[in-house]
Amino acid sequence: MRPANELRPVEIQLGYLPNHPANVLYKSGQTIVLCAASVEPSVPPWLEGKGKGWVTAEYNMLPGSTVPRKRRERSKLDGRTTEIQRLIGRSLRAVVDLRALGERSIVVDCDVLQADGGTRTAAITGGFIALAKAIQNELPGITIGEGPLRDSIAAVSVGVIEDEVKLDLDYDLDFAADVDMNVVMTGSGRFVEIQGTGEEATFDDSQLTEMIAMARRGIEQLTQRQREVLQSA
Ligand code: UDP
């Protein structure tokens, strides 16, 4: 069994889709997400003429990503999908200087090919790599901390299962968890968002502190992986 403070194995393939200029296949154990960041040379109407760019995200789970099959959403997004794609967009914008990006929009599409818990955190961590690659394609030579790329962003889940704090919950752990938390943090170690819920249970200050410390260590490792992948691109 995986130790409580260990991440699932992470595999990252930048440029998985040969015809798309900024995409990544991100695997965290059995959770697999394809993230593609596409650039458009315009901004939404409400941002026109303001000298700023825009970054947004879309998230979806493919029907075959779960058993039983998840119904394909054709017209209206369900509440969970809407909530998750807004979280991904907010998280990515937190590390982009939109003024330095200039009047261009970047849409980061995160499609879950296989879901085994932690799809939103995988979408954020993988989505950042695709976004950074798209920005580097537009502005060659830019590295993290320069120009529009103010910092990196990554996310991980953490939870409490039978009074033990555990990092990076897969579906079985998520299902068994009394407390479930998603932590989004920049590469420089600052929080962007924390979503924590005690389901049929409550949690105290010391568990909260332990969860956050464990998530921080996990995110440090993910940050390192993101930088390695982008450096070798
Ligand atoms: N899940 C599913 N069908 C759904 C929603 C979720 O099978 O419609 C599973 C899937 O494995 C997912 C997990 O439940 O990863 C946890 O879902 P949650 O809503 O907590 O989001 P996630 O942990 O994926 O960010």
Complex prediction ipTM? 0.96
Give the residue, out of 170, 171, 183, 193, with the most ligand 1 atoms within 8 A of its beta carbon, to mutate for a pocket test: 171
Res 74: pLDDT: 84
- Does 3 map to a domain? no
> How many angstroms separate the CA atoms of 157 and 18, rounded?
31
From the CA of 53, how far away is ligand 1's center (Å)?
32
> How many angstroms separate the CA atoms of 50 and 130, rounded?
25
- Does 169 map to a domain? yes
118 is in an annotated binding site: yes
120 is in an annotated binding site: yes
Q: Which atom of ligand 1 is nearest to the CA of 66?
A: 7
Which residue ranges of the chain lie beneath pLDDT 70? Answer: none
From the CA of 68, how far away is ligand 1's center (Å)?
12
- Does 2 map to a domain? no
- Does 4 map to a domain? no
- Does 95 map to a domain? yes
| Ramachandran class of 7: left when φ > 0, alpha when ψ lies in -120 to 50, beta otherwise | beta
Q: Which atom of ligand 1 is nearest to the CA of 67?
A: 7
Res 75: pLDDT: 85
119 is in an annotated binding site: yes
User: pTM for the full model?
Assistant: 0.98
Q: What is the DSSP letter of 147?
A: T
Number of domains in the chain: 1
Pocket of ligand 1 (CB under 6 A): 66, 70, 80, 115-120, 171, 174
- Does 1 map to a domain? no
Tens digits of per-residue pLDDT, 119-178? 999 999 999 999 999 999 999 999 999 999 999 999 999 999 999 999 999 999 999 999
- Does 114 map to a domain? yes
Range of the domain at 195: 10-232
User: Residue 15 maps to which CATH number?
Assistant: 3.30.230.70
